[in-house]
Chains A and B, each alone.
Chain A
Amino acid sequence: MTTVELVSPFVLEYAYKRSTGPVIGRFLTALRAGRIEGVRTATGRVLCPPVEYDPETGEDIVDFVEVGPEGTVTTWTWVAEPEPGQPLSEPFAYALVKLDGADTAMLHALKCGKDALVTGMRVRAVFAAERSGMITDLAYFQPADLPAPELVPVPAEHPVTRFKAPVHAEYTVAAGATTAEFLRGILRKELNGRRCPSCDKIYIPPRGSCPLCGVRTSEVVPLAQKGTVTTFSIIRIPFEGQVLEPPYAAAHVLLDGADVPLLHIVGDCDVDDVRMGMRVEAVWVEDLQPTLASVRYFRPIDEPDATYESFKEHV
C-alpha cells in the first residue's frame, strides 16, 4: 500500500512532584545554603552526590560530611553547541568532579575555555545567586584559580523535602496506513470500516489486522453515519487537560453494520436524556481535519430506540 504519511505532533507534559526523603533533602538544603555535603558509608567512604543507602551493605546512611567546594576533574566531555535547557548557554564541559573530601565524583557543568580543560585540573563550585533547593543551586564549576563570585545569602527556610520534576516529551505520531486511509475518508465525511476476510466482522475505526483471526483485513466497507448508543457514561468530573465542559456523555456508538462500538460523544441533547438503545447520527464540524474529532458528536435522531435484544451482544 503506498500512501502519503499522515503524522501529528503529540506533546506529553507534566510537572511531577518528588519527595526527597531525608538524605537527598539534606543535600539539597545544604546546596541552598551554599554548602556541599556528602555521606559517609560504614567502611568510611565519602559519597558525593550522596545516596540514601549504603551501596556495599544496603544499610541506612546517617553520617553527613561537608566536602569541597574545590575538587579535581576526573574526566570530561566537551559540549560545543549547548542545547536549550542545558546548564550553560556558552560552550562548556560536562565533567566528573571529585570534591575534596569525597571518594566519588559528581557530574556537573564546568565553565572554562576548551584549551584549559584537562583531566586532573582543579576546579571550584560556583553557586547560583537565587537558590531554591535544586541541584541547579550549584550553578557550575570553574577553574579554581579564577576568582569566585561572592556567595549571595538566601534566607534559611524550612528544610527541602520536595521539588518539581517537569517532563516534556515531543512526539510525532504516525497514523499508519490503515488509520490514514480511514482519516482521509473523514475528510470526505465518510466513516469507513474494514472487514476481516476470515470472520467477516467489520471494524471501525478500521484495523489493519483482525485481533481474533490474526489476518489482514481486506475490504473497506463504507458504514452508515447512524448508529445505536449501546452504553455510556455521563462525565461530570473536571480534570486537568479536559477538552469538553462537563457534564457530557461519552458513549459506545455501534454504527449500523459495524461489529465493534466506536467511542465518541453524544451531544445536542440533555445529558439526562441519553440512554442505552438511543439512535444517533454523526454531526460533522465545518473545518474537516484528518481526525475522528471531525465528527463533533453524535446527536439523537427521530427513530424509536433499538431494543436491548438487538445490541446486547455488543455490551
Chain B
Amino acid sequence: MSHERCAVIGIGQTKYSAKRGDVSMPGLLREAAQKALADAGLGWKDIDAVVIGKAPDMFEGVVQPELFLAGALGAVGKPMMRVHTAGSVGGSTAIVASHLVSSGVHKRVLTVAYEKQSESNAMWALSQRFPFQPPVAAGAGGYFAPIIRAYMRRTDAPDHIGMKVVVKDRTNALKNPLAHIHDPEISIEKVRATPMLWDPIRYGETCPSSDGACAMIFSSDGSEVANPAWVLSTAMRSEPMLFPGRDEVSPRAGRDCATSAYKDAGITPADIDCAEIYVPFSWYEPMWLENLHLFENGWRAVDEGKTELDGELPINMSGGVLSSNPIGASGMIRFAEAARQVRGTAEAHQVDGAKIAMGHAYGGGSQFFSMWIVGKERP
C-alpha cells in the first residue's frame, strides 16, 4: 500500500521500572525521544512531525497529553497528534507515524508511547462498576482469565505451559538491561508457588506495572544510519467485543491482521526469524502463536522450546510484556524490539542473523490488533 519507503533509523527506550519518581510525565517521554534522536544522530529540528500514544485516559487521569507534550518533544510549531486504541496503542501509534512517512507527507517523524503506572491504578480503571451492571469487572485479568480457561479446555493444554512461558520470558529479560523484572531465580516452581489472582492466572504469570516510554524515528530514505530497519508491511484490524459466534480465544481480527501483514510484506510465517508479541498473561503466548498462524499448536511449540531465544522461532527476546509493562508503550516496545533485531542492535538478546522480524500488539477485549513486519534489507 505504501508509496514511499519507511525506515526505522532511531530507537530509544527508558529503563523500565515500578516507579520513575525523578521525572515528570513529559520528562519520561523526552528521555526516550532524546535516546532515539541520539541513536539516529539527529536533533529536534530534524523532525517534521510527532505522533504520540498512551493508555486509555483513566489509567493515568490525563486526557490531553498533547497539551503539555509539544514542548517536551520539540514539537512546537510542528504537527502533533495522538492515537488511541487501548492496549494496542503503542503498535498503532507507530503504524500511524510510519504512514506519515510512507505516504510521502513527511520526511522524518518521531513517535513516542508511554505510561507512568506509578501515578495511577490501571486495575481501578478497569474495574469500574458502571450503572445497570452486576459487579463482575475485575481488571484485565478478570476479563482474560475465562478466555485462557477456554483455550486450555479447547486444546487440552497442560497446566505448566503458562509457567514455562514466564520462565522463558524472564530468562530472556536477564539479557535485557532495560527490562523491569530481573529475577535470576525464576523457575517453574517459583511461579507455581505464587498465588492465584484470577484463577487460572497466577500472580507469577501476569505482567508487572511499569513506568516507561519508547520512541522511534522514521525516515523516508534511511540514509541517516548504516543499519536502518525497513518497514515491510503494517496491518491493523478491529472487531466488536461481543457478538454471536465470536471466537474470543482466537479472534478473527487477529487472524486477518496477521494474514494481511504477511501478504503485504510478501512473506510467509516461515520467513520470520523472530517476533515480539503482546503477552500480558503467560497463556497469551501459545494463544497468539496460533492466532498469528505461527504454529498450528501453540502450547506444543512452547513445550518443545521452539520459542526460546535459541529456538526455531524466538518469541519475546526482550523479556516481553511479562517483564516490562508500561501499558501505553508496551505495543511500541514490541515494534521497536523487532526493529532492533533486524538492525542487529539487540545486544545480549540479539537473535543471530535476524533478517525479518515481526512486532505485534493487541488491546481492549482482544478487539484491536496492530502488527508490522520489518526487514534488514531494503524492499
Q: A-side interface residues toward B, CB under 8 Å?
A: 8-10, 12, 14, 16-22, 24, 51-53, 55-58, 161-162, 165, 167, 173, 175, 179, 183, 199, 201, 203, 210-212, 230-237, 239-244, 247, 250-252, 259-260, 263-265, 276, 290-293, 295, 308, 312-313, 315
Contact = CB atoms under 8 A, between A and B. Distances in A.
Nearest to A174: B131
Interface stretch (B80-88, B225-233, B236-244, B312-320): B236-244
6 contacts: A14-B120, A18-B25, A51-B71, A175-B132, A233-B198, A234-B196
B23 A53 contact: no
A215 B246 CA distance: 18
Contacts of B30: 53
Contact of A235 (B61, B121, B142, B249): B142
B244 A201 contact: yes
Nearest to B144: A233
A292 B136 CA distance: 11
Contacts of A265: 134-136
Contacts of A56: 76
B27 A21 contact: yes
B159 to A, nearest CB: 15
Nearest to A290: B132
Contact of A233 (B21, B72, B199): B199
A165 B134 CA distance: 29
Interface SS majority for chain A = mixed
A273 to B, nearest CB: 13
Given A17-B120, A20-B24, A52-B26, 13 more contacts: A14-B58, A173-B132, A211-B240, A211-B242, A230-B150, A233-B146, A250-B138, A251-B146, A259-B244, A265-B136, A276-B149, A308-B153, A312-B154
B150 A239 contact: no
Contact of B124 (A179, A212, A239): A239
A19 B127 contact: no
B138 A235 contact: yes
A80 to B, nearest CB: 28
Contacts of B127: 239-242
Contacts of B244: 199, 201, 203, 212, 259-260
B195 interface: yes
Contacts of B121: 14, 240
A235 B72 CA distance: 41
B119 interface: yes
Contacts of A293: 132-135
Given A19-B116, A58-B76, A234-B199, A240 B132 contact: no
B2 interface: no
A234 B123 contact: no
Which 4 A/B pairs are nearest by Cβ-Cβ distance? Answer: A21-B24, A233-B145, A8-B131, A243-B135
Contact of B61 (A165, A175, A237, A239): A165
Given A24-B24, A173-B131, A239-B127, A260 B146 contact: no
A232 B20 contact: no
Contacts of A260: 242-244, 246
